[in-house]
Amino acid sequence: MPEACIFCRIASGELPVALIAENDHGVVFRDLHPQAPAHLLVIPRRHVASLAEATDGAELGALLLLAADAARAVGLADRGYRVVANTGADGGQTVHHLHFHILGGRAMHWPPG
């Protein structure tokens, strides 16, 4: 795990955050700078730099199921929500540890910026 990776430090428990949900493969917590009334991040426990570097389908599947569990846990399931994986420079990725954003609590627009 890269020393400086903030999400590795969160996943390992070194930086304490309130977890919304977790399973064997990942953890879910609230984004520090929410872009919607509900804004959660789903991250794998182990360091994977981005979706482009992901190779483990079981891990990715478990993370998406975890995203659905977390959305349900915070009451987003009925009205819906958006799941986003910003990937690489053009994708707007700023933290280089794979994460899925869950955004909800308001209507999302399309196309995104």
Q: Which residues are part of the catalytic machinery?
A: 99
Four-CA torsion 102, 74, 105, 79, nearest 10 degrees: 100
Pick the closer one to ligand 5GP by CB: 16 or 78: 16
Spatial distance between the Cα atoms of 34 and 37, rounded to a whole number of angstroms: 7
Which listed option, Zn ion, ligand 5GP, none, makes contact with residue 29 (CB within 5 to 8 Å by class)? ligand 5GP
Pick the closer one to Zn ion by CB: 27 or 40: 27
CB-based contact 87:52 (threshold 8 Å): yes
Stretch of 19-27, 31-39, 66-74, 103-111 lying at the interface with ligand 5GP (CB under 6 A): 31-39
